[in-house]
């Protein structure tokens, strides 16, 4: 049974929308990874400094 023109175009449009959402998801994931990588080391250093201050004996 042949697919009519409307069903064929609708199927192609759904595939294009899926590809666009996949691209946006990939871009957002990449931005989150870059943000975590760039903020991770300074935040870890701040955590270690705070931990050191908390563990110091109170005079």
What would the 3-class secondary structure string for the chain be? CCCCHHHHHHHHHHHHHHHHHHHHHHHHHHHHHHHHHHHHHHHHHHHHHHHHHHHCCCC
> What is the pLDDT at residue 12?
62
Amino acid 15: pLDDT = 76
Domain boundaries, the chain: 32-59
Task: Please give the biggest Cα pair distance in the chain.
Answer: 87
Residue 30 is predicted with a pLDDT of 97
Strands annotated E in the chain: none
11-45: pLDDT as tens digits? 566 678 888 999 999 999 999 999 988 988 888 99
């Amino acid at each position: 049974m042949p697919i009519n023109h409307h069903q064929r175009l609708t199927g192609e449009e759904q595939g294009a929308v899926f590809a666009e959402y996949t691209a946006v998801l990939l871009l957002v994931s990449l931005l989150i990874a870059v943000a975590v990588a760039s903020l991770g080391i300074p935040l870890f250093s701040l955590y270690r400094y705070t931990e050191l201050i908390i563990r110091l004996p109170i005079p």
